[in-house]
Amino acid sequence: MDSNKKYWKGLEELNQTPAFVEKSKGEFAEPIPVEDVLNEAGLSTRTPRRDFLKALGFGLGAVTLAACNRTPVHKAVPYVIKPEEVTPGIPNYYASSFRGQSILVKTREGRPIFIEPNPNAVGLNQGTDATTTASVLDLYDMSKLQNPQLDGKDVEWSKLDSTVVAALNKAAQAGKQIAIVSTTINSPSTLASIAKLTAKYPTTTLVQVDPVSYSGIIEANKNSFGKAVIPSYNFGKAQVVVSVAADFLGTWLAGEEHTQDYIKNRDYKSLKNGKMSRHIQFESGLSMTGSNADVRIAIKPSEEGAVLISLYNEITGQSLAGGTTNKKAQTAIKLVAKELVNAKGAAVVVAGANDVNIQSLVNAINTQLGAYGTIIDLDNYSKQYQGSDAAFQQFLAAAKAGQVGVAMFLNSNPVYNYFNAEEVKEALSKVDFTLSFSDRKDETASLTKAIAPVPTFLESWGDESAKEGLYTIVQPTINPIFNTRQAEQSFLVWSGDNTSIYDFVRQNWEANILAGTGKSWKEILQAGYLYKGSASGSAYSANVDVAAVAAAIVADAKKIAGDVELKLYESPVMRDGRYANNAYLQELPDPVSKVTWDNFAAINPKFAEQLGLKENGKVKVEANGKSIELPVLFQPGQAIGTVSIAVGYGRTAVGKAGDNVGKNAYPLASLINGTVQFVAKATVSKASGTYELAQTQTHHTIEGRNIIRETTFAKYLKDPNSEAGRFTDTHKTYDLWNKYEAPGHKWVMAIDLNACTGCGACIVACNVENNIPVVGRDEVRRRREMHWLRIDRYYTISDEESNKYTKEKEINKADALDFENVSVVYQPMLCQHCDHAPCETVCPVLATVHSSEGLNHMAYNRCFGTRYCANNCPYKVRRFNWFNYWNDSRFDNYLNNEFTQLVLNPDVTTRSRGVMEKCSMCIQRIQAGKLKAKMENRKLVDGDVKMACQAACSANAIIFGDANDPNSEVSKALRNERVYYVLEEINVQPNIGYMTKVRNTFEA
Amino acid sequence: MRNISSVLGRFAKSISVSLVLLFAVTMSSNAQDAKEGAALFKANCTACHKVDRKLTGPALAGMTERHSEEWLIKWIRNSQALIASGDPVANQIFEEYNKVAMPAFSQFSDDQIKSIIAYVKEEEAKANDPNKGGAAGAAAASSDVNNLMIVGIAAILLLAIGVIVILSRVIKTLEKVIANNAAAIEAAKARNEAYEESRKVKFAQKFLKNKKLVGFTALMVVALLAVLGWKTMWNVGVHTGYKPVQPIKFSHQIHAGVNQIECQYCHGGAYKSKNASIPSANICMNCHNTITAADHYDGEISPEILKLYRAVDWDPDTRTYGNNPRPIEWVRIHNLPDFAYFNHSQHVSVAGVACQTCHGPIETMEEVYQYSPLTMKWCVDCHRNTEVNADNKYYDQLIEAHEKLKKEEKMTAAMIGGLECGKCHY
């Protein structure tokens, strides 16, 4: 054991609470009452022999009778006229796009079942985030509306149309505004259809507002550069990144794209070339991005501006007033400023605050660092968030004044996600005619007069433009399932245009987008995207009155400074709450806290102690005159004096799965400086009652084993083997078992701990691919989540304090820590497909056996549920089906109705109650890849087979392939010096190699 | 006489052999062509033509005698052009076949058309050859070990009963000889008539008195029931011979047997997909928009074909489709459980397994039934015995590894992991 660092999964493991010690001894969280049955009383219970025989006889007879049913007659119904492109059993792929990303939709027999990134979209994002992969489930959501509604009753489209047109005419005659309230629209064809409506009804206005607003950046750029846009960022060119509360790997702007670029400077290929970027994060709550930073400084939300002022001072040598007084931050800023200046042209500062002044100051700093034209691109700017808080303010004012005749809500739900819902309701009541395009009767739609439900993107024609110059196509993969109609089609119909939406989109492309490119519509449908932008943006110089901005920042900071400061954030899992009815997402653990099915008040353990809070307790958070009660989560890394709450929870009208999950935190936001800001001065008080969060983090313990290897970049440069701590380097091993031959393929995996950001996209991809059931909050509490792949999150104390806290003198010193400076390592954990698998030797029925391709097979129909294998698995990756999740009314919210089950992958069996399951290494994909090679009469080449998790990973942290092919990417990766195998000392010979985590800390 | 006939026979044989050889030699120049022609013919012509009978188009046998090669090439390449040019023969054929135009095959080269003609000639010759061999039968079902065992056991049991009966008789006779005197025998003779009447009863009583025999019979009955029970239990869920009534009396014997339509024509999925797929009704209509089997039904359309027309909503009088198709609900015969993954293309295209290996003599089936048990044992047995198709380049690496091991003479599916759970269960 080279490292003297101590890692822990949860605070109870660090503190070794008695309850935890007790629980960690057992295989299962809840003891199985074996003793109760086998104790003397249990054995001496008198069951008369006759009763026993009666019961036995009846049981036998009943089971026999129950088993005697006629073999069901199966029908085989072929097409009458088979579409030429459909061959039953062979998937079809369609290029489409989701939130501006070019994707491929896999369909089987006409059903969309999986979404993966478009591999041909060179240069675009090659991974999908959790919401993208999970979105396929939304198609099969039972909570959606099946017909248009008027006054809460189902009507025909013709009736709805005549009503809407009458209302539009009335508004137009009265000269009243017709407002389309929407989240950002970057689709050229949607905009064109709105333009059609505007042409017919000139009072039409488009009000764009995003629940998580970025209008601060837009305003700041308008002031600094005269361009009211959000730039796009290329973190691939950044060697030094400073982020002040921007979760840029997760939710901030284009998180997945940032991840892909950012990791290129940190993954094994970059390290091999001796290069690694440095990332410093200042933030209050421990965000996913912060957990990946090399150095992380916990600050209060009110200090964000001050940190940037200090940074500006250090970089430019000026001395603006209002710098930070936080000692740790000051030291870090001194060091980091030097780094930034040295790396001019390859350094960038980003800030998460939705505040004009803070963003203006950031613009000034980035100008100094020469980031414009290299990392920050104002020419090929992002079009993902164009919402304007001011525009929505104006709409509300106009509506309240009775100036709005018709209000239509497109992808917009302000009654839920605007901080002042009462004002929205009041405004709605004063509008003559209201309509929502929501696909369900959500919070806003239930207040509108009419609902014109739209189909999901998988049923629609359309397009998107997430970035200037980038156009992606949206093409349907299935006919609309319900009686829905695209909003664009509705706009056309209401403006008296009878063009079908397909013709409209196509004509719009051919006239405006494809003109001059020499590409045809068909080619675009096949490619899925078109990029017309330039390679990189040109340099810009910010024109900022720094002194005035700094003064404003100081003034605003005073408004939110207090003993307790609140920070609202968007969780990378639930995002802004629009996907709340997606059970896959609800059950995906939050990357850092590992909480599922809830939001919570994250408070530093030390601070919580001061407040007298206990774990599993509840807390009342008050801010801006509103309050909510939430369960407490002790969050290491959280700045003392702060509380973080995720927005996107607490929906009340989203559907079966998502209703009343968590609490709505949007009302705690406020309007500061003209923009909606997620920070506030708050008070926190203990509330009555207890609440157990459904966390996946404490479900397994590491028993102090050395399974995480971590080194620093400096050490790595001296010795690439540093801290790899390979057991086989120092010990000779002996085998009890015969060696398994793998003459054909040997499937292995390499996981780069330095690339994994812990986002969880792989988990959702695995769930969708492998038909993994959703078990719900209660079952997660019982530690029965079914995820085959989990991402373990380990905390450790940052270097500075680790001297105080080493293995030798651990527990007592824990009290002395303030838990602000923790660092985090993520470790994706899945079946290691051990060559000497301990599970295989204990299975009494040979349900789990080894294959000649190095895989550990699991035959569900042999398994009869002894769970010996789970008990004997050192990695705790086996999952037991406690229920028949596919056909059990207790799991009614999720995947047990016939319609939703259409999302299932037909190549993978759904497991029944009482059997064990685990990662199969996507064996259906391996078999399909092999068959494809055989059909083409060729050898299998590297890259033919991709795991679902691998396909989803933007960071390329998961590399899969054939170890028998010395030139495969995985073979190359596994020859890396950083590779180690988890628990290799017990000689189970796992087939998944991990690469040590490297942290580019300050060498001071 | 015998000698003479055998000599004549041998002579005839040698002549026929030399004739065949001669024929083969003369044909050998065309052999390659005929092979290419066969592929082209099957891919392009079988939908409308057969060599020996009329289909949508005329029977092709003797076409080289009826027409010159140049004419045939012109006709095949673009029959419409030939008709338009006013060729009398062409127009006659066009009229004769209800003005159904033969599609143009402009993609064919002269040589390709010549190979098709060569193939037709070859087929013609085969059809005329009286010694043509019967169609290759389906692979014989492997001897059922279970049945053999039961028959054996039954035989042994019968033998044992016989032995016991005979032995007890012998013992009794000996006892009688020792114990009874002649007088007793006389007395018995005197009571002979009465004895005759009660003989059957006596026999039963005797039988019942023989405890060994009773015991043994009881044991046998129990054993028989056990064996039957065992066999029944093992066959729960095995539906060999399952022959449900289908909504349309579709005969594979007519289509695959008599008309020799390639399996692939209808079940294309078997060659490229997991599912063999039941053909969509529009595939049936490719032929059945002209074939109505009216000659078998006194000029009326066959009632079974009418069912097809109803399904696709085709009006044979106006020859138009309606808007109200109703899919045909076939009854599925081969039902594999959901936890077993089976892929047709792996077996048919990669391994080259004939359809008949699993589906039996399908070309003789009036109604299709389940030929194979579809049990795991049956799958595994085949995997144990089937050699891997070494022509496929995918297997190169495995074959190389196997060469090194040199354990067995042939590499079976089982040796490369064909028996592993995860090959079929995931």
**Span A39-76, pLDDT tens digits:** 666 556 666 778 888 888 999 888 888 777 777 888 98
Check whether A195 has a pLDDT greater than 90.
yes
In one letter, which amino acid is A543? N
* A34 in a structural domain: yes
* A530 in a structural domain: no
Check whether A920 has a pLDDT greater than 90.
yes
pLDDT at A539: 85
The answer to whether the Cβ–Cβ distance between A78 and B278 falls below 8 Å is yes
Q: Which residue did the predictor score with more confidence, A342 or A812?
A: A342
Place of tokens 């966390």: A695
| 84-113 in chain A: CB under 8 A from chain B | 87-90
The answer to whether the Cβ–Cβ distance between B425 and A861 falls below 8 Å is yes
Q: What is the CATH number of the domain that holds A606?
A: 2.40.40.20
pLDDT band at A166 (very low <50, low <70, confident <90, very high): very high
By C-alpha distance, which of A653, A202, A157, A164 is closest to A435? Answer: A164
Q: Give percent above pLDDT 70 in chain A.
A: 94
| 919-948 in chain A: CB under 8 A from chain B | 920, 923-924, 927, 930-931, 933-935, 937-940
Q: What is the CATH number of the domain that holds A232?
A: 3.40.228.10
Two structure tokens written together for B420: 């592993």
In chain B, what residues touch A909 (CB-CB under 8 Å)? 338-339, 425-426
pLDDT at A702: 64
**How would you write A177-197 as a 3-class SS string?**
EEEEEECCCCCHHHHHHHHHH
What Cα–Cα distance (Å) separates residue A490 from each residue in A175, A204, A441, A506, A870?
22, 15, 18, 17, 55
The answer to whether the Cβ–Cβ distance between B423 and A860 falls below 8 Å is no
CATH architecture for residues B25-128 = Orthogonal Bundle (1.10)
Q: What is the pLDDT of residues A307-352, one digit of tens each?
A: 999 999 989 888 888 888 888 888 888 889 988 999 888 999 999 9
The answer to whether the Cβ–Cβ distance between B325 and A858 falls below 8 Å is no
Chain B residue with the nearest C-alpha to that of A853:
B417
- Residues B135 and B133: their CA atoms lie apart, in Å, by 6
> How many CB pairs (< 8 A) connect A and B?
153
pLDDT band at A921 (very low <50, low <70, confident <90, very high): very high
Q: What is the pLDDT of residues A505-562, one digit of tens each?
A: 999 999 988 888 888 999 999 999 998 877 777 888 888 888 888 999 998 888 888 8
Q: Which residues of chain B have pLDDT under 50?
A: 1-5, 8, 19-30, 132-144
Chain A residue with the nearest C-alpha to that of B349:
A935
- Please indicate, yes or no, whether residues A650 and A746 belong to a single structural domain of this protein: no
Check whether A750 has a pLDDT greater than 50.
yes
Phi–psi pair at A69, nearest 5 degrees: -115, 155
Check whether A167 has a pLDDT greater than 50.
yes
Rounded to the nearest angstrom, the minimum Cα separation between A26 and chain B is: 30
Q: What is the mean pLDDT of chain A?
A: 87
Chain B residue with the nearest C-alpha to that of A88:
B275
pLDDT at A38: 63
Ranges A71-75, A415-419, A665-669: which has the least confidence: A71-75
Those residues whose C-beta lies under 8 Å from the C-beta of residue B309, and which sit 6 or more positions away, are B288, B301, B315, B316
* A704 in a structural domain: no
Number of domains in chain A: 5
Q: Is the dihedral of CA A306, A307, A310, A316 positive or negative?
A: negative
On whether any CB of chain A is under 8 Å from the CB of B62, the answer is no
- Please indicate, yes or no, whether residues A735 and A803 belong to a single structural domain of this protein: no
On whether any CB of chain A is under 8 Å from the CB of B352, the answer is no
Q: What is the CATH number of the domain that holds A508?
A: 3.40.50.740
Tell me how long chain A is: 1004
Check whether A895 has a pLDDT greater than 70.
yes
- Please indicate, yes or no, whether residues A623 and A650 belong to a single structural domain of this protein: yes
Contact between A256 and A127 (Cβ < 8 Å): yes
Q: Shortest CB distance from A937 goes to which of B312, B393, B426?
A: B393
On whether any CB of chain A is under 8 Å from the CB of B57, the answer is no
Ranges A288-297, A617-626, A895-904, B49-58: which has the least confidence: B49-58
What's the rounded mean pLDDT across residues A748-766?
A: 93
- Residues A10 and A698: their CA atoms lie apart, in Å, by 6
The answer to whether the Cβ–Cβ distance between A80 and B327 falls below 8 Å is yes
Q: Give percent above pLDDT 90 in chain A.
A: 53
pLDDT at A1: 36
- Please indicate, yes or no, whether residues A170 and A244 belong to a single structural domain of this protein: no
- Please indicate, yes or no, whether residues A447 and A357 belong to a single structural domain of this protein: no
- What residue ranges in A352-510 does DSSP mark as E strands? 376-382, 404-410, 433-436, 450-451, 462-467, 470-474
On whether any CB of chain A is under 8 Å from the CB of B336, the answer is no
Q: Which residue did the predictor score with more confidence, A673 or B193?
A: A673
- Residues A111 and B30: their CA atoms lie apart, in Å, by 50
* A722 in a structural domain: yes
Two structure tokens written together for A314: 């250090």
- Please indicate, yes or no, whether residues A903 and A950 belong to a single structural domain of this protein: yes
Q: Shortest CB distance from A82 goes to which of B282, B326, B331?
A: B282
- Residues A474 and A457: their CA atoms lie apart, in Å, by 7
Q: Which residue did the predictor score with more confidence, A810 or A290?
A: A290
> For chain B, what are the domain ranges?
25-128, 146-234
* A946 in a structural domain: yes
Q: Count other Cβ atoms within 10 Å, centred on residue A207.
A: 25
On whether any CB of chain A is under 8 Å from the CB of B403, the answer is no
- Residues A785 and A787: their CA atoms lie apart, in Å, by 6
ipTM of the complex: 0.83
* Residue where a domain stops, chosen among A349, A382, A415: A382
The answer to whether the Cβ–Cβ distance between A857 and B425 falls below 8 Å is yes
Domain that holds residue A169: 149-212+407-455+478-516
Check whether A875 has a pLDDT greater than 50.
yes
In one letter, which amino acid is A897? N
Contact between A537 and A352 (Cβ < 8 Å): no
Q: What is the pLDDT of residues B291-301, one digit of tens each?
A: 888 778 877 88
Ranges A199-213, A745-759, B15-29: which has the least confidence: B15-29
- What residue ranges in A766-818 does DSSP mark as E strands? 790-797
- Please indicate, yes or no, whether residues A883 and A775 belong to a single structural domain of this protein: yes
- Please indicate, yes or no, whether residues A641 and A691 belong to a single structural domain of this protein: yes
Q: Count other Cβ atoms within 10 Å, centred on residue A327.
A: 8
Two structure tokens written together for B49: 């033509």
Partners of A230 in beta bridges: A382
| 844-863 in chain A: CB under 8 A from chain B | 847, 849, 851-853, 855, 857-862
The answer to whether the Cβ–Cβ distance between B397 and A744 falls below 8 Å is yes
In chain B, what residues touch A927 (CB-CB under 8 Å)? 341, 343, 423, 426
By C-alpha distance, which of A41, A255, A264 is closest to A130? Answer: A255
Rounded to the nearest angstrom, the minimum Cα separation between B129 and chain A is: 38
Chain B residue with the nearest C-alpha to that of A939:
B394
* A110 in a structural domain: no
Chain B residue with the nearest C-alpha to that of A74:
B332
The answer to whether the Cβ–Cβ distance between B420 and A849 falls below 8 Å is yes
* A637 in a structural domain: yes
Check whether A596 has a pLDDT greater than 50.
yes
pLDDT band at A474 (very low <50, low <70, confident <90, very high): very high
The answer to whether the Cβ–Cβ distance between B331 and A88 falls below 8 Å is no
* A138 in a structural domain: no
- Please indicate, yes or no, whether residues A935 and A879 belong to a single structural domain of this protein: yes
